[in-house]
């Protein structure tokens, strides 16, 4: 009973939020552009939560997050493209099921790759791990660029087109809620405590009997699976994929969101994702056309100022009540 209550408590705010956005867009109060941005913010938040698990909770410095995001996006897009036609256009449940399976497959693909990359590289420490994952990101960009020589549908450097638009507000919000629930419960489980222990002091946690390498692989793989699912949602939101979206520089965007929100802080990541996406896209509309390139001048300035004022992130260690654990803290 309490579990049901807890789930209801977590889902309710998001249901209200998505209902509100849905309602406003239905009445033409909110234009489609902003609705799309709202969905993008949900997608970015899922990916950022994944990186927060990797870097914020486990302390693994990963600079290759965008690569896993891309793997998820390409996998999911390829699957829906391949199997969607088979069940007819109108069958709602079949469409939904195929989409769900593709998203999960995107997550699994990203997780498998993360496992493959993580097994050798997670033995490296801090900055060296960062540069190795960054290198992996650059390698994956080259792979995406030349993917059409392996599978022609992936489009390679010309970009992948013809993806159906399947991501909608309910999908985006449901995925975000699921991501929050999974990560919150994971972080406050014995697994999560092991991950945090590794972040705080690897040697001490090894001495306490934690198999540090195994937990690091678990943390890294799970976080990357989140990126994969988010990538799948992204692919079916913009219906076009280009390798430059998954450039290594995009990994920095997610990293900045996580750090601005506060490492190991779920509230911060959520708020920072929404603020980041809305600032970035909002300035496109708010600034007069001749000043549009000032967008990327203002954002770094804001970023620097934020870091100078609050080096530990906007929220520090404060969390929304719903995201707090019972025992921990």
* Smallest separation, CB 227 to other proteins (Å): 19
Q: % helix / strand / coil in the chain, to the nearest 5?
A: 80, 0, 20
* Smallest separation, CB 56 to other proteins (Å): 10
Q: Using an 8 Å Cβ cutoff, are 41 and 281 in contact?
A: no
| Tokens found for residue 134 | 């960054």
* Smallest separation, CB 300 to other proteins (Å): 4
Q: Using an 8 Å Cβ cutoff, are 101 and 56 in contact?
A: no
* Smallest separation, CB 240 to other proteins (Å): 22
Query: Rg of the chain's alpha carbons, rounded to an integer?
Result: 20
Q: What does 284-302 look like in DSSP terms, one character per residue?
A: HHHS-GGGGGGHHHHHHHH
* Smallest separation, CB 205 to other proteins (Å): 12
Sequence length of the chain is 329
Rounded to 5°, the CA angle 218-221-224 comes to: 145
* Smallest separation, CB 39 to other proteins (Å): 25
Of 86 and 297, the one with the shorter C-beta distance to other proteins is 297
24-48 b/e with 16+ CB inside 10 Å = b?
ebeeeebeeebbbbbbbbbbbbbbb
Of 248 and 274, the one with the shorter C-beta distance to other proteins is 248
Of 65 and 81, the one with the shorter C-beta distance to other proteins is 65
Give the C-alpha separation, 70 to 228, whole Å: 7
* Smallest separation, CB 218 to other proteins (Å): 21
H or E segment to which residue 71 belongs:
helix 65-83
User: How far, in whole angstroms, is CA 143 from its chain's centroid?
Assistant: 21
* Smallest separation, CB 130 to other proteins (Å): 8
Other Cβ atoms within 10 Å of 220 Cβ, number: 28
- Residues at the interface with other proteins (CB under 8 A): 120-121, 123-125, 127-128, 130-132, 134-136, 138-139, 141-143, 145-146, 203-204, 248-249, 252, 255-256, 259-260, 263, 293-294, 296-297, 299-301, 303-304, 307-308, 311-312
Of 17 and 139, the one with the shorter C-beta distance to other proteins is 139
Of 286 and 298, the one with the shorter C-beta distance to other proteins is 298
Of 160 and 263, the one with the shorter C-beta distance to other proteins is 263
Spell out the long-range contacts of 308-312 with Cβ–Cβ below 8 A and sequence spacing 24 or more. 312/262, 312/263
Of 125 and 161, the one with the shorter C-beta distance to other proteins is 125
Of 88 and 311, the one with the shorter C-beta distance to other proteins is 311
């Amino acid at each position: 009973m309490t579990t049901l209550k807890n789930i209801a408590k977590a889902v309710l705010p998001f249901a209200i939020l998505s209902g509100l956005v849905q309602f406003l867009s239905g009445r033409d109060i909110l234009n489609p552009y902003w609705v799309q941005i709202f969905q993008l913010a949900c997608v970015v938040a899922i990916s950022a939560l994944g990186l927060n698990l990797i870097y914020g909770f486990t302390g693994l410095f990963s600079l290759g997050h965008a690569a896993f995001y891309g793997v998820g996006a390409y996998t999911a897009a390829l699957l829906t493209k391949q199997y969607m036609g088979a069940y007819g256009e109108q069958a709602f449940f079949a469409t939904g099921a195929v989409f769900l399976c593709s998203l999960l497959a995107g997550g699994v693909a990203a997780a498998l790759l993360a496992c493959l990359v993580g097994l050798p590289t997670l033995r490296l420490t801090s900055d060296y791990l960062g540069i190795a994952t960054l290198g992996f990101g650059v390698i994956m960009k080259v792979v995406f660029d030349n993917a059409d020589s392996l599978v022609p549908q992936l489009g390679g450097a010309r970009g992948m087109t013809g993806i159906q638009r399947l991501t909608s507000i309910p999908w985006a919000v449901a995925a975000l809620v699921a991501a929050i629930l999974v990560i919150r419960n994971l972080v406050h489980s014995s697994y999560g405590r092991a991950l945090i222990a590794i972040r705080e002091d690897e040697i001490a946690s090894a001495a306490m009997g934690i198999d540090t390498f195994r937990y690091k692989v678990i943390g890294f793989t799970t976080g990357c699976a989140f990126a994969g699912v988010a990538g799948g949602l992204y692919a079916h939101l913009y219906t076009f994929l280009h390798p430059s979206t998954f450039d290594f520089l995009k990994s920095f965007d997610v990293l900045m969101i996580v750090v601005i929100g506060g490492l190991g802080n779920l509230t911060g990541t959520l708020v920072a994702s929404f603020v980041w996406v809305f600032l970035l896209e909002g300035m496109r509309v708010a600034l007069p056309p001749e000043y549009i390139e000032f967008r990327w001048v203002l954002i770094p300035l804001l970023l620097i100022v934020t870091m100078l004022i609050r080096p530990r992130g906007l929220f520090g260690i404060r969390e929304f009540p719903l995201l707090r654990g019972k025992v921990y803290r």
